[in-house]
Amino acid sequence: MQVPAIPVPPLFGVFFVGQSYPIYSTNFVQVDPTHWVLDVCVAVQPNYWDLKEVSLFLMQPNSLDPTAALGLYLKVGPSEWLYRGCSHNGHPNEVMPLQWPDADQPMAPAPGIVQIGVSMEPAVEILAKEGSKMGARTDFAKRVGMDLFRFMESFQTQQMGNHIVVPENALDRWFIKFTEKFKRDPDFLTRQPEQL
């Protein structure tokens, strides 16, 4: 009599915020013991550019070796794998922006064109990548500040030395405009070529 194989429980899952149900590691193609790949156009939806955020989460507490972490990467066409975020025992889930590298001119969706990869790596290496990501967040904050400054600068009609005179409701008006723009295109600031 043959004993049925015991299914391996999923190690992790992902979901695309507002666009999918959880997709478990058992639904990914496991390339080797530490790498998994998901074909986004097949498993989620062809219009990958509509996917703005993804969450990576561990299925069980302390399911990873304490020295390991899971990194999430994305790849569009022949581009390199781009790091987006991580999860580990001390931080079991993360929601991260996808920021597709071809957002201005998306590729035609087809099987194998758009992939999400999850890689089990030494936590030290992943946390070093997180440090780089923090620098990107600082740049983003500077870009938001520059957007506000440019908006307020547009009200200046006369020179007042080092001061800008703006209407009382300028900040509210900017925030409404910024929020509408951000909802339409969360990556609009990061594509601006302006030096910080």
Q: Which residues are CB-contacts of 18 (< 8 A; sequence separation ≥ 6)?
A: 53
**Using CA atoms, how far apart are residues 47 and 40, in angstroms rounded to an integer?**
9
Structure confidence at residue 190 (pLDDT): 65
Q: Which of 7-11, 58-62, 129-133, 160-164 has the highest mean pLDDT?
A: 58-62
**Using CA atoms, how far apart are residues 7 and 10, in angstroms rounded to an integer?**
9
Instruction: Say whether pLDDT at 14 is over 70.
Output: yes
Higher pLDDT, residue 164 or 30: 30
Structure confidence at residue 30 (pLDDT): 94
**Using CA atoms, how far apart are residues 139 and 101, in angstroms rounded to an integer?**
17
Instruction: Say whether pLDDT at 45 is over 70.
Output: yes
**Using CA atoms, how far apart are residues 1 and 10, in angstroms rounded to an integer?**
27
Backbone φ, ψ for residue 102 (5° rounding): -110, 30
Token duo for residue 188: 């609009």
Confidence of residue 69 (pLDDT cuts 50, 70, 90): very high
